[in-house]
Structure 1
Amino acid sequence: MVVVVRFVDDRGFIGIVHVPNTSATRLKDSLETLLSRLGLCISKIRVQGYDGASNMRGHVGGLKTYIQKENPQAYYVHCFAHQLQLALVSIARNHENVDWFFGEINHLVTFI
Structure 2
Amino acid sequence: MPKITYVSADGDLHVVDVPIGTSVMRGAVGTGIDGIVAECGGNAMCATCHVYVPAEHAASLPEMTAVEDEMLECTVAERRATSRLSCQLRITEGLDGLVVRLPEAQE
TM-score bracket, normalised by the shorter chain, equals: 0.3 to 0.5
Structure (1 or 2) with the greater helix fraction = 1
Greater Rg over alpha carbons, structure: 1
TM-score (norm 2): 0.40
